[in-house]
Amino acid sequence: MKPVIGITSSYLDERTLQTSYDNVDSIVKAGGIPLVFPNITKVEDIDTYVSQFDGLLVTGGGDIDPTLFKEEPHQKLGLIHPNRDEFETILIRKCMEQDKAILAICRGCQILNIACGGDMYQDIYSQIDKRLLQHSQQAPRSHASHYINVSKGSLLHKITDLSSYKVNSYHHQANREMAANLKVSARASDQVIEAIEGTDHSFVVGVQWHPECMTGTEDLPSVKLFTAFIEASKKGLTKTKLDE
């Protein structure tokens, strides 16, 4: 039985939801069944959502409301969607309570940390007082533009068997202080956080780049990451469905 993977969606405008087919295709290719969700905020309805999937893919998108981590909006803050922030925060917390596998991408990596109690830079270029890499690359989305350094012993290191490799990059925000139940598993050469993971969950991984845009080119670390996510989701399926 294939695991069902819940996929979060972003707003194209105030009334239109969207998700890239790269997200859908990467799940299908790795052996999962994608199920895209709109952003709702009634807790009881979110409980119903969570009961319908085995793993959660938290996708990329726009900026995040800084009042969630008790900051005022920075001048460089971009477009936010409070309903999405609220929905994903509740969804992530409920999945972690049930130890469901989570893969969080770019914006998803940030909302994962915030949902757990961490915070973030609203704009790395104006809030980090040092020269940074180009984190919003001027290149095709499938192009790997800069290196990351992976912490040995981390889940990401175990998945990829690599201590350094290249990733793509499309962000101006990034995680700053980590939540208590999360840890950093990779950084760029300028020390910007590139990957995080749960410390007391079976599979909770957040990456700052977009591996879903690279699976189509058979980028091995990206393929391995999605494969590991689907395998972790199967374990949840075994416990929650096959035994019923």
Which sequence spans correspond to the domains of the chain? 4-242
212 a catalytic residue = yes
Q: Which of 95, 106, 116, 213 is catalytic?
A: 106
Catalytic residue, candidates 146, 201, 212, 213 = 212
Whether 106 sits among the annotated catalytic residues: the reply is yes
Q: What secondary structure letter does DSSP report for 215?
A: G
Specify the fold of 4-242. Answer: Rossmann fold (3.40.50)
Distances (CA, A) of 200 to 99, 134, 203: 9, 33, 9
Out of 81, 135, 171, 210, the active site residue is 210
186-189: long-range pairs with CB below 8 Å, 24+: 186/148, 186/149, 186/150, 186/151, 186/154, 186/156, 187/148, 187/149, 188/133, 188/135, 188/146, 188/147, 188/148, 188/149, 189/133, 189/146, 189/147, 189/149
pLDDT in tens, the chain (244 residues): 899 999 999 988 878 999 999 999 999 999 999 999 999 989 999 999 999 999 999 999 999 999 999 999 999 999 999 999 999 999 999 999 999 999 999 999 999 999 999 999 999 999 999 999 999 999 999 999 999 999 999 999 999 999 999 999 999 999 999 999 999 999 999 999 999 999 999 999 999 999 999 999 999 999 999 999 999 999 876 444 444 4
